[in-house]
């Protein structure tokens, strides 16, 4: 356990958000960074900046983490995205080591040149089989895949209809591809229909890409994938679904919400990441069409102009995928879901609320940033490693702690997480009350 924070918290550390520093004027590009740094440092010094932390020995279910002041804390780890605990699986580590012995450490080239290896070509196909599509193409990260699939296919005269809460890689990819980006209300098929009707009638010749996720990573909620695919077909549009958080750890055989909704092999494009369930950096796009795969390889800049996955990354992902598809994978998914349900129940029983449907993401509501930041300051000493989420990852006033559950968490670790979360929020609420009490205000003035 870390030591309790001794520093007092200036009001400035509880106010403002990263939004305040996003757009700044003036010619001095370096100077513009200063105001953010000054605000961040106020937060850092008083322990309300729980970002940029490092694990001492990797992201295990309980571990030691150093914050960016260098202060060490130990506790149960609900801050890592290793949902089936495969990053510490002995067979996965052995596969990565063997790949280094066989093929060295570097792919040394783009997938459009000679960056592919015999194993990465095999992984393409295994992945395509897993999601029941004909083709898959690998990217260096999930972010690169999300950005790249959109930027690769959409041109400036085309339109993008995108869920308002879609991940940054999708939003940034959309903005880079065209000015015609139309957000629809989160999960709302009717709103998307209204918007696509207007777009199509005014632009009969434009391409339209509809963008959503299989499981939303901050809210743990799920779209009606079939309804979005039907909408896309009706209007001559294409649907892409980002399955970064559900593929491998949810749904029948680990096929995520696409599988759970009976849509395997029926979605136009699937885009995913290996960084949550498959133990490695990396991402992919799956399609039924070889022409799309080849087009993306040469027109998706985050694939064409970026180095291919290294042999160790490919071997890690391939072994993780093999486990995901095995009996052992099923057992791990069941363990994960039982941990998820237990954590949700304990959070609820302790009087706290969370967002969304059961998934490895249990996002505990705090709402006000001040309460959330004071809670974040208490958690290391209470032995809980959890990520504070605030703007820009979620809207202002909707801060939360995103607890990410692993199959490898024990019942004791789940209980400890719920208890520490409650204790942290209670302490923070008391501190907030004190701050607005007449005694505190008199002392402060």
Q: Which residues bind ligand PLP (CB under 6 A)?
A: 141-143, 146, 167, 169, 213, 217, 242, 244-245, 273, 275, 283
133 vs 170 by CB, closer to ligand PLP: 170
CB 364 within 8 A of CB 292: no
How far is the C-alpha of 152 from the C-alpha of 137, rounded, in Å?
Answer: 13
267 vs 423 by CB, closer to ligand PLP: 267
Q: In what order do the strands lie in the sheet with 399-404?
A: 361-367, 399-404, 387-389
Q: Shortest distance, CB of residue 361 to ligand PLP, whole angstroms?
A: 9
Using CA of residue 61, residue 328, residue 215, residue 288, what is the dihedral sign?
positive
Q: Shortest distance, CB of residue 283 to ligand PLP, whole angstroms?
A: 5
43 vs 167 by CB, closer to ligand PLP: 167
247 vs 370 by CB, closer to ligand PLP: 247
Q: Shortest distance, CB of residue 275 to ligand PLP, whole angstroms?
A: 4
How far is the C-alpha of 396 from the C-alpha of 401, rounded, in Å?
Answer: 14
50 vs 146 by CB, closer to ligand PLP: 146
158 vs 213 by CB, closer to ligand PLP: 213
Q: Shortest distance, CB of residue 277 to ligand PLP, whole angstroms?
A: 11
Q: Shortest distance, CB of residue 35 to ligand PLP, whole angstroms?
A: 27
What are the CA-CA distances from residue 206 to residues 148, 150, 155, 172, 267 (Å)? 19, 15, 9, 20, 20
Quote the radius of gyration of the chain (alpha carbons, Å): 23
Measure CA 392 to chain center: 13
Residue at token pair 């199959």: 407
Structure tokens at 367: 């709402």
- Closest listed residue to residue 406, CA positions, set 119, 57, 40, 82: 82
Length of the chain: 445
Q: Shortest distance, CB of residue 403 to ligand PLP, whole angstroms?
A: 15
CB 384 within 8 A of CB 417: yes
Element (H or E) spanning 64, and its range? strand 62-66
| 8 class by beta-carbon count within 10 Å (0-12 exposed, 13-18 middle, 19+ buried) | exposed
How far is the C-alpha of 168 from the C-alpha of 216, rounded, in Å?
Answer: 12
77 vs 346 by CB, closer to ligand PLP: 77
Residue 232, C-beta contacts closer than 8 angstroms, at least 6 positions apart: 208, 210, 238, 239, 268
Q: Shortest distance, CB of residue 263 to ligand PLP, whole angstroms?
A: 18
Q: Shortest distance, CB of residue 222 to ligand PLP, whole angstroms?
A: 12
Q: Shortest distance, CB of residue 330 to ligand PLP, whole angstroms?
A: 24
How far is the C-alpha of 406 from the C-alpha of 78, rounded, in Å?
Answer: 8
180 vs 302 by CB, closer to ligand PLP: 302
Side-chain half-sphere CA neighbours of 212 within 13 A: 28
Residue nearest to ligand PLP (CB): 142
Structure tokens at 203: 């632009």
Helix (H, G, I), strand (E, B) or coil at 385: strand
Q: Shortest distance, CB of residue 252 to ligand PLP, whole angstroms?
A: 21
246 vs 369 by CB, closer to ligand PLP: 246
167 vs 409 by CB, closer to ligand PLP: 167
143 vs 355 by CB, closer to ligand PLP: 143
What are the CA-CA distances from residue 383 to residues 4, 70, 357 (Å)? 10, 17, 26
Q: Shortest distance, CB of residue 123 to ligand PLP, whole angstroms?
A: 15
Structure tokens at 137: 């193409």
CB 317 within 8 A of CB 123: yes
């Amino acid at each position: 356990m870390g030591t309790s924070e001794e520093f007092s918290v200036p009001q400035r550390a509880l106010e403002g958000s990263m939004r305040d520093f996003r757009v700044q004027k003036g010619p001095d590009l370096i100077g513009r960074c200063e105001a953010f740094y000054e605000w961040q440092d106020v937060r850092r010094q008083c322990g309300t900046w729980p970002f940029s932390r490092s694990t001492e020995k990797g992201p295990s279910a309980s571990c030691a983490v150093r914050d960016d002041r260098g202060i060490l804390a130990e506790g149960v780890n609900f801050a890592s995205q290793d949902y089936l605990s495969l990053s510490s699986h002995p067979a996965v580590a052995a596969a990565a080591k063997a790949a280094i012995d066989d093929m060295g450490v570097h792919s040394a080239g783009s997938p459009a040149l000679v960056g592919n290896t015999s194993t990465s070509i095999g992984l393409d196909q295994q992945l395509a089989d897993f999601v029941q599509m004909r083709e898959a193409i690998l990217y260096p990260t999930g972010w690169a895949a999300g950005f790249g699939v959109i930027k690769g296919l959409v041109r400036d005269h085309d339109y993008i209809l995108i869920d308002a809460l879609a991940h940054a890689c999708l939003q940034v990819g959309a903005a880079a591809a065209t000015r015609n980006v139309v957000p629809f209300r989160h999960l709302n098929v009717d709103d998307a229909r209204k918007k696509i009707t207007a777009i199509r009638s005014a632009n009969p010749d434009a391409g339209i890409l509809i963008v959503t996720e299989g499981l939303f990573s901050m809210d743990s909620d799920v779209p009606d994938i079939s309804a979005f695919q039907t909408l896309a077909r009706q209007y001559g549009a294409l649907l892409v679904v980002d399955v970064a958080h559900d593929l491998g750890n949810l749904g029948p055989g680990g096929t995520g919400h696409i599988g759970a909704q009976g849509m395997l092999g029926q979605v136009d494009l699937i885009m995913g990441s290996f960084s949550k369930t498959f133990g490695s950096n990396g991402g992919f796009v799956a399609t039924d069409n070889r022409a799309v795969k080849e087009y993306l390889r040469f027109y998706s800049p985050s694939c064409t102009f970026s180095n291919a996955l290294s042999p160790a990354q490919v071997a890690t992902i391939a072994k993780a995928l093999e486990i995901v598809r095995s009996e052992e994978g099923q057992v791990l998914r069941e363990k994960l879901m039982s941990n998820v349900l237990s954590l949700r129940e304990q959070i609820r029983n302790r009087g706290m609320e969370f967002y969304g449907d059961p998934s490895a993401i249990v996002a505990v509501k705090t709402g006000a940033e001040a309460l959330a930041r004071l809670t974040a300051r208490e958690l290391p000493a209470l032995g809980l490693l959890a990520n504070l989420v605030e703007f820009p990852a979620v809207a202002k006033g909707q801060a939360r702690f995103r607890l990410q559950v692993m199959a490898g968490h024990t019942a004791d670790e789940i209980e400890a997480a719920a208890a520490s979360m409650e204790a942290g929020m209670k302490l923070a609420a008391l501190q907030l009350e004190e701050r607005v009490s007449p005694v505190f205000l008199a002392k402060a003035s």
